Amino acid sequence: MSLLVPTYQDILSAAEQIDGHAVRTPLVRSDVLDQHLNARVFIKAECLQRTGSFKFRGACNRISRLTADEKKRGILAYSSGNHAQGVAAAARIFGTNATILMPSDAPATKVEGVNFWGGKVITYDRATENREAIGLQIAQNEGRILVPPYEDRFIMAGQGTTGLEVCQQLAELGLTPDLVAAPAGGGGLIAGTGLAVLHNHPDAKMWSAEPEEFDDHKRSLIKGQIERNTRLDGSVCDAIITPEPGQMTWDLNRRQLAGGAAVSDQEALDAVAFGWRHLKLVIEPGGAVALASLLSKKIDVAGKVAVVIASGGNVDGAMFNRALAAPA
């Protein structure tokens, strides 16, 4: 694992590395959304990315750089589901094998995705067990290469290609972003995206979005130091429940983020429903928190050009139906 935070050049290199494997996801907009927020809002639909989330970008960039010997040893990753699927897919594409440590309450659709790509799933209790410690032990015992979900230079650079594409796509429309909001779990997506966006548009504002009671980035920004969540379960936003910001991601996010927003479970589910009804996108609750932060007016974008990262779409049918069941 690299201990160096990525640079903008690392993101440009990652874009070349994953070209032909990752999808250049679209920017989607809605007249209803623009009118509701009095803004020009674009949704970066990473829910349409390969394996259903932005996580494939980082996994592809990291695993594509393994040596022949490292590929023989295989990979160990820990994930609530989206990184797991990205790793399993990239492992198959680049000729290695992956063992994935996943929480026992991970959505079935995410476990099925890992199985499809040939990954071996080992479960743990996210409320009582430490996935990092378990994962490190398995990696050492079996000689596997640890591919973490965010604390890695190449992973973060791969996630940063999301922001690079945002800048390119807005430029094609003759626009520049005033504000970009993204979900934050460990912080790799928003760190990499922020690095790309702020390199091209230094006056843009980057905002993190998280579930209430799991808003460690928001609290860390307020305190000026890493704050830890008191629990690790109990939210519909399973994709972005992490103990605390990563050390490497925080090194970027503490300097790049203008602020953080926290949304309730119901606000996240309302955003899932809005995405389906008005954008025709399937977004999982954790992937919809940035959209929820705008819809609930917790991030003010009136009069601005704003971009929201819809980071993933791997939602179980029951959870999706729960979101759609609420009155419009």
Q: Mark whether 130 and 159 lie in a shared domain.
A: no
Q: Mark whether 168 and 314 lie in a shared domain.
A: yes
Q: Mark whether 60 and 44 lie in a shared domain.
A: no
Q: Mark whether 18 and 126 lie in a shared domain.
A: no
Tokens of 258: 């203008």
Q: Which of 102, 126, 146 lies at the terminal end of a domain, its last residue?
A: 146
Q: Mark whether 35 and 163 lie in a shared domain.
A: yes
Q: Is residue 2 part of a domain?
A: no
Residue 281 has pLDDT above 70, yes or no: yes
Q: Which of 146, 169, 186 lies at the terminal end of a domain, its last residue?
A: 146
Q: Is residue 114 part of a domain?
A: yes
| pLDDT score of 160 | 98
Average pLDDT, the chain: 96
Q: Mark whether 198 and 302 lie in a shared domain.
A: yes
Angle between helices 55-63 and 8-18 (to 10 degrees): 90
Q: Mark whether 253 and 115 lie in a shared domain.
A: no
Q: Is residue 1 part of a domain?
A: no
Q: Mark whether 120 and 230 lie in a shared domain.
A: no
Q: Mark whether 184 and 165 lie in a shared domain.
A: yes
Q: Count of domains in the chain?
A: 2
Q: Mark whether 111 and 222 lie in a shared domain.
A: no
Q: Is residue 33 part of a domain?
A: yes
Q: Is residue 185 part of a domain?
A: yes
Domain that holds residue 287: 8-53+153-325
| pLDDT score of 165 | 98
Q: Is residue 317 part of a domain?
A: yes
Q: Mark whether 173 and 268 lie in a shared domain.
A: yes
Q: Is residue 26 part of a domain?
A: yes
Confidence of residue 2 (pLDDT cuts 50, 70, 90): very low
Check: pTM over 0.85? Answer yes or no.
yes
φ, ψ for residue 284, nearest 5 deg: -75, 160
Confidence of residue 327 (pLDDT cuts 50, 70, 90): confident
Instruction: List pLDDT tens digits, range 28-85.
Output: 999 999 999 999 999 999 999 999 999 999 999 999 999 999 999 999 999 988 999 9
Residue 225 has pLDDT above 50, yes or no: yes
Query: Higher pLDDT residue, 46 or 126?
Result: 46
Instruction: List pLDDT tens digits, range 246-262.
Output: 999 999 999 999 999 99
Residue 174 has pLDDT above 50, yes or no: yes
Q: Is residue 235 part of a domain?
A: yes
Q: What is the CATH number of the domain that holds 142?
A: 3.40.50.1100
| pLDDT score of 3 | 58
Instruction: List pLDDT tens digits, range 77-116.
Output: 999 889 999 999 999 999 999 999 999 988 889 999 999 9
Q: Which of 146, 171, 196 lies at the terminal end of a domain, its last residue?
A: 146
Which position has the token pair 């379960």?
233
Residue 1 has pLDDT above 80, yes or no: no
Q: Mark whether 253 and 105 lie in a shared domain.
A: no
